[in-house]
Structure formats: structure tokens, C-alpha cells
Amino acid sequence: MLKPFLLTLSLLPWIPVFLCGTTTEEELSIMEGQSLTIPCHYEPQYASYIKYWCRGKMREFCSSLARTDEPHSVNPSEKKVRLFDDPVQQVFTVAMSNLREEDSGWYMCGVEIGGLWSADVVTYKNIKVIHGMTVENSRLSGEEGSSVTVECQYSERYRESEKKWCRSGDWSSCLLAGSEGSNDSSVYIKDDRSGSFTITFKKLQMRDTGWYWCSAGLQKMPVHVQVKPRPMTTVSVTSQPQTVANPLPPKPITKESWSGHNFSHVLGSLLVCGSVILVGLAIVARKWWKRHKDPVLRQLNGMLRRRRNEYSDVSCDLQNATVVFLNKDSQDVHMC
């Protein structure tokens, strides 16, 4: 009976730590051959405690990789894992370099509490080291005339492989990238063989919109480029002001001047309308006279002829009449 009790007491510090402290899990993916920096946060009361980074998911079986109480290497670049603590910010960071596919697995960053009845405060990290290719941003957009850059990352095993940039559906458009890069009229490709190669569109055009492939060896990743039309800009032309010597100020509009203006305007309108009416009446009278003048003239001529004949008949009857003048001075007699 005593042995099981002692065994239970010895295992108490390693009971799943979520019962005794704060634990979180996080999954991280990284390309083979690249480096990874991981932040591990802790509470202010643990600022002076020992921090550690180990591989495994159980504390008793976790292989220690770095601790704050271990002396730093003389040449840090030779060490694959480094740990830095910042008590002011309450965070310690773990830097892992030159990761390989076999480095994939569970890791633990923790604060060593110590003591028989206290468990460490830990955070779990699941790191996956993959080989192949990836693209930092698979969808790019830019305005016409601007520049955009695509970064295609590859794993260590593809360092010496041929790098290409091709337009989807047109493999004859592929451009190769060497150690010094290659130039094209609108595209610049450069591979520095450090785990990524870049493709830069130096001056985007509308025809550049479409899908592309960046490839390393047999690995390839799709990238879409969207070119937006350049916004229209309006240029305002300002005319130079002309200087006039001694300009006269405009006369103010008063009630009297406005009334006189209205009266003169109405009078002018009436005169114009009256002139138009008189001209119209004259034209109508002229047309009427031309149409009816001949019958009227014939009628008047007939009436004058009849009157003339009547007067001639009366004067001729007076030829046989005797005329006695009482006034001797009247000596003239007119005969027909």
C-alpha cells in the first residue's frame, strides 16, 4: 500500500499541466532550410524564473535544447537553437535555424516552477518542416505602370534546381532564373540561392493580368496578378488674371433704376410688336387691293361715263332756248 501512494506522490508534478497552469497549443509550418523564431509569453511573477525549450510533449520525456541558466555559446551561429529572455516584456524567444524535415515534431517552451507540488507553466508548439515550394503572397494587384514583386520560396533540396516563371497555359513564355537573374522587357527574375527567388514586374500593363506559375524543379505554385487601370486625373488650367487700369466699380442696382429698366423694356417690346402688326396689315391690304382693284376701277369708269352722257344731253337742249339778261353787263353766253 505504501508503494502506490509514493508513486502517486512522485507523479503529481507531472499531472497534465492544464490542471495546474496555463497551456496552449500552436501549429507552425516552415520551409526546409529556413529559420524560425518563436515567442513564449509568461506572467510577470515568473520574470526571474528559469525558462527552457525542449522537444517532446511530456515534461519527464522532453529533451532539453536550450535553457536560460545555461552559458551561451562563444559562437552563436554554430548553435542551432538559441534562447533569449526579456523580463521587461515578459517574453522569451526561441530561434531555430537551418531546419530539416526530421526536425518536425512537438516542442515545449516552459517556465520552471520547481518544487514537489507545483507543475511548470508550459506552451506546446507543433512544428512541421516541409520541403517543396510556397509563395508568400499568391494574389498580387497593382495599378497600371506600377511595380509588384512575387517571392517564391523553396526548400533546401531545391537550391540547385532550375527556377522558372511561366504564364499559365503558355509554357513557351517561361523565363529562367540563374544565380545572376535574367532580364526581360517587363519582368526581372533573381535567385540568390538562399531559399527564395523573386519575380518583379517593372512596369505593369493591362495585358499582364492573369495566372502564372513559379517553379523549382518539379515543384510549382500558382500566382495570380491583377492589374488595375490607372485612375484618370483632371488637370485644371488657371488663366492668368488681366490687370485693368483704374477699373470702375459696378453701379449698384436700386429700385428706381430697376423700375426704369422694366418700363423701357416694356415700351421697346410694345414698339416692336406694333411695327410688326402694321407691316402685316400693309401686306394684307396690298394683297386685297391687287385682287379687287380691276372690278372697282371698271365700275367707277362706267359711272363716270354715264354721268358725262347725262350732262351732255342737258346742255344740248338749251341751244334753242332764249336767254334774257336783266343785267346788261352780262354779255357772255355760252352755247353748247
| Whole-angstrom distance, CA of residue 220 vs CA of residue 229 | 29
Percent of the chain exceeding pLDDT 70 equals 64
Of the candidates 117, 193, 186, 123, the one whose C-alpha atom is nearest the C-alpha of residue 160 is 193
pLDDT of 15 higher than 50: no
Q: What is the mean pLDDT of the chain?
A: 75
Amino acid at 174: C
CA distance 38 to 167: 37
Alpha-helical runs (H) found in the chain: 2-11, 255-317
Tell me: the pLDDT tens digits for 247-287? 555 555 555 554 555 556 656 667 776 777 888 788 877 77
Return the pLDDT at 274.
74
Band (16; pLDDT cuts 50, 70, 90): very low
Highest mean pLDDT, choosing among 41-50, 272-281, 286-295: 41-50
Phi and psi dihedrals of 15, rounded to 5?
A: -60, 145
Residue percentage of the chain with pLDDT more than 90: 25
Cβ(155)–Cβ(32) below 8 Å: yes
Instruction: Say yes or no to pLDDT of 95 above 90.
Output: yes
Which grid cell sits at 325? Answer: 339778261
Domains of the chain and any CATH numbers: 16-130 (2.60.40.10), 133-228 (2.60.40.10)
Whole-number pLDDT of residue 60: 83
**Cα gap 32→187, rounded to integer Å:** 28
The residue assigned the cell 500566382 is 223
Tell me, what's the pLDDT at 211?
A: 92
φ, ψ at 203 (rounded to 5°): -150, 95
